[in-house]
Amino acid sequence: MPRPDWTPHRRDDGELIGWIRPQGDDWVPVDLFGREVAEPIDWLDAEAVLEERGIRWLADIWMLEREDAAPLRVRIVEVTPDRGGVAGRVVVQTDDFGAVEAPVTRFELPWPAPERLRPRREGDPDGRIFR
């Protein structure tokens, strides 16, 4: 478990979908990236937020911001939270567009995931269009 006061929250099939952590008299839902996904709310609402979010969002296209170049289109390969004093990590790789033999580059990021790993937005580089 990432933090001693975080309570794991799992789907009915046992799959971890996040944690709920205390904040004052309220609770904060935290996703698998270690990011807060709602303001402090009551326990049942925190559970509902995590269940609504699920894990399907991990399969989406993500963008990895870089200081010296355009953002990269990436896919999530691994999310391993901190546990037992061992630092976690988030591994992403450049999107291969489903081509098994396409060359990819992997990037290992810290956990919780940094803000430079973000969902794709309209106007982001497509990766399939060359200019």
Q: Report the side by side order of strands in the sheet with 26-30.
A: 7-10, 16-23, 26-30
What is the pLDDT confidence band of residue 125, given thresholds at 50, 70 and 90? confident
- My answer on whether 22 and 65 are in the same domain is no
- My answer on whether 49 and 80 are in the same domain is no
Tens-place pLDDT, residues 75-110? 999 999 998 889 999 999 999 888 888 899 999 999
Spatial contact of 73 and 96, defined as CB atoms under 8 Å apart: no
Res 101: pLDDT? 86
| Structural domain harbouring 44 | 7-55
Res 123: pLDDT? 87
Q: How many domains does the chain have?
A: 2
> Considering the entire predicted model, what is its pTM?
0.88
Tens-place pLDDT, residues 5-35? 999 999 999 999 999 999 999 999 999 999 9
Work out the number of other CB atoms within 10 angstroms of the CB of residue 124: 16
- My answer on whether 41 and 64 are in the same domain is no
- My answer on whether 64 and 112 are in the same domain is yes
- 124 domain-assigned: no
